[in-house]
Structure 1
């Protein structure tokens, strides 16, 4: 068995170093990724001291982590539960629902099928400029495109979940001025096509550039692990890379409306990014789980086991390392 403390492929080392050396880190977003990817499968709770120890190797200091966790609790993502002199942080029911909804998109092995119906959210009445911008930003992070200033469009969003997310963002007053609509696919002579809708609502060139950047960061890591017959990487580095991989991919998907293939340009880089993420995640899973078995603890001192469902993430009939990424 290889020494779990010594094997760090150079491309992995570069990615971790790049993250540590960036000027500003949004620790709250990283912590959300840790809870969704690593803590949720182990009972949705973790001792604060354990979370600090897990994230310190990424260059996040204790004060930053404590401040960020306190803020997430204030925003009702997390709640606390004292155990003696220690404190566990747990996902709130609403926080867990948000993660489970996100997981259906993050760990999917392929893009969803399209029912050829557009989901629309239309503003009814006047919105103040500040409220309109807050709405635009909130729906942008759910993948909605804009058609003019009063209509937001998505090919497959769950409109109920979209409204729940707006309420969670504190936009209750704005929600009362929104109308959800489901548009059936119909042919009306010279009416705008679905492709026209896409080009009007989203900047696909910009999104493609973001996907290309993701592939550029992680393809060298995957190439090195493929080239190594043993696929060796130390357990801690595997965990840290897994968190950064899912963190970057999660934030990328938040911008992506997950358009069906029929509406995307040929050679769309989103599919390449999905396959890369799937294979790299599966290669990092076993060593990263060993790291969590050793270092993730509850306030009671216990280490909760991972649910077997974690091994179903990114599962597909295609063999590992099929070369398509």
Structure 2
């Protein structure tokens, strides 16, 4: 595992680190309580670390470094190795050996899925709607059942709901992502834009929302996220948090936020109940992320290496997260 002192040098994020802040006792207690009450699953946590911390730095790192940083969360060496192996089987990661060391990197499929997830997690929620729905109609006999099941999972991942057999709908779909999914799956499907027909007596399409999407469960998830993390507002002060604590807080923040928001169809505001907690959760996540991302970057670059050595500055896309981060 790579370990270096952060003192006396400048971090890759551009923030000065003449003297590394001391561990904060209150933040440490919050972290300990969070891990005790809500221990993260090792494989899911590793996916969070790859998506939030490693992907912006090239998407590859050595197993020894992963073991080190996941140890902050109480994850054993054995569980780290098992999680990396399972993510490899699921085509998220691939590995190569260099002597006794193993380098894990994102596969093309894993990178594509992380890019889709990044857009859904870090982008400011859209609140406008032009009244049109995107419908995807799967043709009979066009695919084997296994392929249809895989396509259904990808459509549901992007927030589409099954509104009739073989018919998926979304009121604010990202058509570029939809086109990529259908092309990748080589799916024969019809994609239509639809609206309610005025003057015809029928159920309005917006009534499908409660039937086809579990917004109540999603709202509960957002409220739980806010309840879990809002106390951090008073504990964090920009630039003062210790790099290791910043990394742990940032990772836990994104870990629990993504577990909710990736199930969110991200409907426009007029399709959602009044007082939608998803907006509050996003604003809180954005605020806390801004308070700890710089110091977390210091810890990432001090404790993880890529195939060519020490990780460099994060890619430009990293600084577009949450509406824009300062370098």
* TM-score normalised according to structure 2 size: 0.80
Q: Which residue of structure 1 aligns with residue 323 of structure 2?
A: 315
Distance between the aligned counterparts of 1:113 and 1:76, measured in 2?
36
Is the contact made by 1:211 and 1:252 (CA closer than 8 Å) also made in structure 2? yes
Distance between the aligned counterparts of 2:171 and 2:280, measured in 1?
21
Alignment coverage as a number of residue pairs: 306
Judged with a 3 Å threshold, the aligned counterparts in structure 2 of structure 1 residues 233 and 155 are, in CA distance, closer, same or farther, namely: same
Q: Which runs of 5+ in 1 are unaligned?
A: 318-325
2:164 counterpart of 1:145: no
Q: Which residue of structure 2 aligns with residue 323 of structure 1?
A: none
Is the contact made by 2:243 and 2:295 (CA closer than 8 Å) also made in structure 1? yes
Selected match of 1:257 from 244, 265, 289: 265
2:30 counterpart of 1:14: no
Q: Which residue of structure 1 aligns with residue 200 of structure 2?
A: 189
CA RMSD of aligned residues (A): 3.2
2:300 counterpart of 1:292: yes
Distance between the aligned counterparts of 2:35 and 2:239, measured in 1?
18
Deviates more, 1:196-205 or 1:29-38: 196-205
Is the contact made by 1:109 and 1:316 (CA closer than 8 Å) also made in structure 2? no
2:260 counterpart of 1:242: no
Distance between the aligned counterparts of 1:274 and 1:293, measured in 2?
27
Alignment map for 1:1-325 (pairs within 5 Å): 3-9=21-27, 10-20=29-39, 25=41, 27-111=42-126, 113-125=128-140, 139-158=155-174, 161-162=177-178, 175=187, 179-184=190-195, 186-225=197-236, 232-298=240-306, 301-315=309-323
Judged with a 3 Å threshold, the aligned counterparts in structure 2 of structure 1 residues 116 and 54 are, in CA distance, closer, same or farther, namely: same
Distance between the aligned counterparts of 2:123 and 2:238, measured in 1?
27
Q: Which residue of structure 2 aligns with residue 321 of structure 1?
A: none
* SS of residue in 2 equivalent to 1:69: helix
Q: Deviations over 1:29-66 (max 9, x none)?
A: 22221111111111111111111111111122111211
Is the contact made by 2:134 and 2:193 (CA closer than 8 Å) also made in structure 1? yes
Distance between the aligned counterparts of 1:112 and 1:53, measured in 2?
41
Distance between the aligned counterparts of 1:101 and 1:165, measured in 2?
10
Q: Which runs of 5+ in 2 are unaligned?
A: 1-18
Is the contact made by 2:157 and 2:263 (CA closer than 8 Å) also made in structure 1? yes
* TM-score normalised according to structure 1 size: 0.80
**Distance apart, 1:182 and its partner CA:** 2.7
Distance between the aligned counterparts of 2:97 and 2:83, measured in 1?
18
Distance between the aligned counterparts of 1:12 and 1:67, measured in 2?
24
**Distance apart, 1:235 and its partner CA:** 1.8
* SS of residue in 2 equivalent to 1:266: coil
Judged with a 3 Å threshold, the aligned counterparts in structure 2 of structure 1 residues 276 and 150 are, in CA distance, closer, same or farther, namely: same
Distance between the aligned counterparts of 2:247 and 2:108, measured in 1?
26
Distance between the aligned counterparts of 1:231 and 1:301, measured in 2?
26
Is the contact made by 2:58 and 2:306 (CA closer than 8 Å) also made in structure 1? no
